[in-house]
């Protein structure tokens, strides 16, 4: 199993807008339907109003690589990331 955790620092004051945009886009549901996905979650940090935590699990490295190269990442996730995310820390 492959587990990814990333802490995304959202541009000042834009976390709620980012979370709403994720919900409206349907991207998380699309990710959960991808081959090999075990879970895909985005959570808000309770002690930092500008952070979200992305956590996802995949059956194999090939499934994770497929996800990373998917059209959903390129056409939905990446534009939202570019608009809202200031930087990220991968764990």
Q: What is the pLDDT of residues 61-76, one digit of tens each?
A: 999 999 999 999 999 9
pLDDT digits (tens, 9 = 90+) for 49-58: 999 999 999 9
Per-residue pLDDT at 90 exceeds 90 = no
Give the pTM: 0.89
Run of H or E residues at 84: helix 78-84
Structural domains of the chain sorted by starting position, each given as residue range(s) with its CATH number in brackets: 2-90 (3.30.70.100)
pLDDT at site 50: 95
The 3-state secondary structure of 5-36, one letter per residue? EEEEEECCCCHHHHHHHHHHHCHHHHHHCCCC
- Tens-place pLDDT, residues 3-43: 999 999 999 999 999 999 999 999 999 999 999 999 999 99
């Amino acid at each position: 199993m492959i587990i990814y955790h990333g802490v995304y620092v959202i541009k000042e004051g834009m976390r709620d807008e980012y979370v709403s945009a994720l919900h409206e886009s349907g991207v998380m549901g699309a990710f959960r339907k991808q081959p090999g996905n075990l879970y895909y979650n985005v959570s808000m940090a309770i002690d930092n109003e500008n952070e979200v935590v992305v956590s996802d699990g995949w059956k194999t490295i090939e499934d994770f690589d497929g996800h990373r190269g998917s059209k959903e990442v390129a056409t939905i996730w990446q534009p939202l990331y570019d608009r809202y995310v200031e930087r990220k820390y991968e764990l």
